[in-house]
Structure 1
Amino acid sequence: MGWVALGGGFGLVFLVSAWSWLSPLPLALLFREVTRRPPAGAFKLTWLFGAGFFTAHLLWLPSSLSSFLGPGAVILSALLIALLASMWGLTAALTRRLLGPATLWGLPLAWTVLDALRATGPFGFPWGSLGYAWAQTPLVQVADLGGIALVGLLVALSAAALVSGQRWANGAVLGALLLAGVYSLTRPPAPAGTARALLVQGNIDPRLKAAGRRTEELAHYLNLTAAGLRAAPVTLVVWPETAAPQAPTAAPVRRALTGVSVPLLMGAPTEDGGLRNSVYAVQAGQTLGRQDKRRLVPFGEFFPARAALDRVYRAVFAGLGLPPLTGTVPGTTTQPLTLGPLRAGVLICYESTFPGVARALVARGANLLVTASNDAWFGPSTGAEQHFQMGRVRAIETRRWWVRAGNDGISAAVSPHGQVVARFPRGVAGAFTAPYGTAETRTLFVRWGDWVPFLAGIGLALIWSGQRWLTWRLAD
């Protein structure tokens, strides 16, 4: 149980605590023990460490799902934690088996590849990626060079250096950290946010939405918006995810929005070949564009092989006391929404945790990142804070302003350096004015993408080849 406790302590401080910068310490203890054990033993202790980590890091998960899934939330959470811990365990075991004596320095490379793989595909789940351990330190500024993967590689290399005992290797890691520190501390100041956005926070219980949408929701957002516009001039209004009960293409909604002359980004459902989770660009009742959510929450917003496994799903839903859910349809395009000079790269809720989505939007011309979210499902847990801090790194990776409107929060504005320049209280209804700006430059990460995991994979292949060659030479 010692490894579970160590991993749990790691998970409790990870990302949202000022102590998160000490993450290389527990990781170093894990790496040291992995190098001392056979692959099976490396899998076991890493699985225990990972189970403790993800149980603590995802404490919010069963409580946030329980209002929707009931007791089944605990079962699904346990299955997810076991799966994530198994990924960590397999990574340690395979590295130990393939690299042998070179395991210690192979582990940082293997973890970098694993974190990148965990963020790909329809089942992507980037919570727990190592780079977020230093998301609230100056070193996170190197994310504009190689994304959160580069920060994660530095975390893992620091852990390896703590236990290696190799002076040349430790010197190389220390040199890399010093270079990263100098780079981070010498960034030119971010341009001031000279424009103003109105972030509208409706604070509507999502369980009421799930029970059936009401026209009063639209009136609520219109009233909050009108009050905010009277209080201060703005150039952009942002509503949260699924704020409106109907799309602005519906005649009643279109008529109601004619009085909002300021460009508006609003979350609303769309019926187009199935139910879609969308954000619309609207001005004076005229729809200027639409972005559908592309990265859907597995088993929350989409159900794999739903038609083929219909009987299985119906039985599971019935056991949980739920209707036969069908999920939503993912979007297929990634394009900024144009509102005059603004080209807004929209990240709908969950999407803000994926570096690739923000990168693709900026590569296609987005000069501002905008997130419409609904974190009310998290309740008072740390889940919403984790979600926000992960999204904040997207601003650094792309050097774009990021504005965020949440149903019950967190509504905020973040500068291209990741500085939170405005943040508003959760759990209250209101319309808040926040500064923002635009940018046209493209960072190395935007231009080159996931070059860090790619090189890490090449590094693993070279170490493995070197080990094979050395074994062959010794046996000859």
Structure 2
Amino acid sequence: MVCGVALGALSPPSALGWLAPLPLGLLFRAVAHASPRQAFWMTWIVTTAMFGVMLIWLPQSLGETLGWGLSLLFPVLVGLLGLTCAATVALTRWAAGSWTLGALPLAWVLLDAVREMGPLAFPWGGLGYFLSETSLVQVAEWGGVELLGLLVGGAASALAAWSWRGVWVALLWAGALTYGVTRPPEVPGTRPALLVQGAVDPRAKVQADAVREWQRYWSLTKEAQVGAQTLVVWPEAAVSWPPPAGLQMPVKGAVLLGASAGGTTPRNSVFLMQGNAVAGRQDKVHLVPFGEFFPGQASWPGAYRTVFRWLGLPDLLGRVPGHAARPLQLGDLRAGVLICYESVFASQARELVAQGANVLVTPSNDAWFGSSRGAEQHFRMGRVRAVETRRWWLRVGNDGITAVVDPQGQVRRRLVRFTPGTLPVMFDVREDRTLSVQWPGWVVWGAALGWVLICLHMRTVAHICRQSRC
């Protein structure tokens, strides 16, 4: 459990994430000398503790905004996350045998990739994010956060084995670190943008006044006196859609705004407005499970009503996910929009850039996190998307974190949280494509191939031994 607490404490926004291989290595060493059943329970205890510490902000933020009854679900969540890790490690211990230490880093990379798939996807806390606050993060342009995870897992296995083979891992870390610290600084941006932070209490938005919402952002934008070439960005769900009749947009340029689109199919959307005309729309594809949508609600409405009432909540209705994400184009600017939670999905950012996105934009609403470290954690993980794709990243939150990040993951400007205001920033467009974008799955497929080969080799050796009774 101590190893799990240490891993949770080393997760972002900690600057000491590079130490993660030490407690992880202790777990790997214990697993390598245990039975599959013992490996399962050891891993479950450690990883449940890790996610418990990593996500400790969750019951606090949910309790303050949706009622403390919902916080009772927190142990269930961290227990299930620990279960996925435990099952992966136990299977690897059973299949890889004496080569367990070589297979564990590969298995963990595969697990993190699987956690990014499906309607219940929750890629939060992937192994590679431990390096997000270090210079090592720069190699993410070669293989994404998955390559960073392989570096962490490989170092943990090398420490667990404590043999001369660890020299090769040390050399890889040294090479990655050298690459990171010797990169020349990014050239300052030349294009203007205005990030608008409304700082609206999320509880007040439940009884939202559509006109008041629009007027709030209209006023903040108008006061900034932006030019026609400035891209204005409002947060996620800043306003309700459609706009009130007769309301005119505050600028003649482009406004990228987050809006709650109602009707029979409620969606969380972003609209690109040019003047009063809609130039593009993107619906949120990855919705937060049990936050923005409720799996199986159509089949078991009565069960959900019972749970909502037990938690002291009204009957909540989920949103409908978008079908696909595509860049929103305005002249030569093609914005790859990652709406809030989507900024932790590396695959979506890479796909948008592969489709031509030359800047990444994230309208977000982290007001639900309150003053906990959840918002900071979310922001630090999203910064890796800028490095993976070598794109400028414009991020605006309802109450923060509002900032501009350059293609090396460096924060150029950042607005104070919890206060309404605007942040004028400069950014640029980039057309080059990193290896992570051109070959998006090479680390995962390589890990899968390596894991299968190791396990097949051990199964073959075991079969030969049984046949020869060795």
Per the shorter chain, which TM-score range? Answer: over 0.9
1:252-263 equivalences in 2 (<5 Å):
252=246, 255-257=247-249, 259-263=250-254
Q: CA deviation at 1:272?
A: 5.5
Structure 1 equivalent of residue 415 of structure 2: 424
Structure 1 equivalent of residue 10 of structure 2: 13
The answer to whether the 8 A contact 2:268-2:319 is kept is yes
- Structure 2: which 5+ residue stretches go unaligned? none
Say which of 152, 168, 179 aligns to 1:172: 168
Question: Partners of 1:247 and 1:79 in 2: how far apart?
Answer: 38
Question: Partners of 2:177 and 2:14 in 1: how far apart?
Answer: 20
Q: CA deviation at 1:234?
A: 5.8
- 1:245 aligned counterpart, secondary structure: strand
Q: Deviations over 1:107-151 (max 9, x none)?
A: 111111001111111111111211000001111111111110000
The ranges of structure 1 where at least 4 consecutive aligned residues each deviate by more than 4 angstroms after the TM superposition are none
Say which of 146, 151, 161 aligns to 2:148: 151
Partner AA of 2:451 in structure 1? L
Q: CA deviation at 1:31?
A: 0.6
Structure 2 equivalent of residue 82 of structure 1: 79
Q: CA deviation at 1:98?
A: 1.0
Structure 1 equivalent of residue 199 of structure 2: 203
- Structure 1: which 5+ residue stretches go unaligned? none
Q: Deviations over 1:276-332 (max 9, x none)?
A: 111110121111011011000001111112111111111111222222222101011
1:369-384 equivalences in 2 (<5 Å):
369-384=360-375
Q: CA deviation at 1:41?
A: 1.0
Question: Partners of 2:405 and 2:264 in 1: how far apart?
Answer: 35
Task: Find out whether 1:226 has 2:217 as its counterpart.
Answer: no
Q: CA deviation at 1:474?
A: 3.0
Q: CA RMSD in A?
A: 1.5
The answer to whether the 8 A contact 1:198-1:234 is kept is no
1:331-410 equivalences in 2 (<5 Å):
331-410=322-401
Partner AA of 1:281 in structure 2? L
Task: Find out whether 1:132 has 2:129 as its counterpart.
Answer: yes
Task: Give the 3 Å change call, closer, same or farther, for CA 272–364 of structure 1 in structure 2.
Answer: farther
Task: Find out whether 1:184 has 2:175 as its counterpart.
Answer: no
* Bigger Cα displacement from structure 2, 267-276 vs 148-157: 267-276
Question: Partners of 2:302 and 2:239 in 1: how far apart?
Answer: 33
Q: CA deviation at 1:75?
A: 2.1
Question: Partners of 1:222 and 1:439 in 2: how far apart?
Answer: 30
- 2:248 aligned counterpart, secondary structure: helix
Q: CA deviation at 1:229?
A: 2.0
Q: Deviations over 1:220-247 (max 9, x none)?
A: 11111111126x7862110001111233
Structure 1 equivalent of residue 239 of structure 2: 244
Q: CA deviation at 1:451?
A: 1.5
Q: Percent identity?
A: 49
Say which of 80, 92, 95 aligns to 1:95: 92
1:34-73 equivalences in 2 (<5 Å):
34-73=31-70
Q: CA deviation at 1:473?
A: 3.1
Q: CA deviation at 1:186?
A: 4.1
- 1:112 aligned counterpart, secondary structure: helix
Q: CA deviation at 1:60?
A: 1.0
Q: CA deviation at 1:256?
A: 2.2
The answer to whether the 8 A contact 2:228-2:253 is kept is no
- 1:282 aligned counterpart, secondary structure: strand
Structure 1 equivalent of residue 460 of structure 2: 469
- 2:225 aligned counterpart, secondary structure: helix
Aligned length: 467
Say which of 290, 301, 315 aligns to 2:292: 301
Q: CA deviation at 1:178?
A: 2.7
Partner AA of 1:196 in structure 2? P
Question: Partners of 1:73 and 1:150 in 2: how far apart?
Answer: 36
Partner AA of 1:123 in structure 2? L
The answer to whether the 8 A contact 2:338-2:363 is kept is yes
Question: Partners of 1:68 and 1:410 in 2: how far apart?
Answer: 18
The answer to whether the 8 A contact 2:65-2:368 is kept is no
Partner AA of 2:248 in structure 1? A
TM-score of the superposition, structure 2-length normalised? 0.96
Say which of 19, 22, 27 aligns to 1:25: 22
Partner AA of 1:81 in structure 2? V
Question: Partners of 1:401 and 1:47 in 2: how far apart?
Answer: 38
Say which of 261, 269, 285 aligns to 1:270: 261
The answer to whether the 8 A contact 2:230-2:253 is kept is yes
Question: Partners of 1:468 and 1:429 in 2: how far apart?
Answer: 61
- 1:206 aligned counterpart, secondary structure: coil
1:325-336 equivalences in 2 (<5 Å):
325-336=316-327
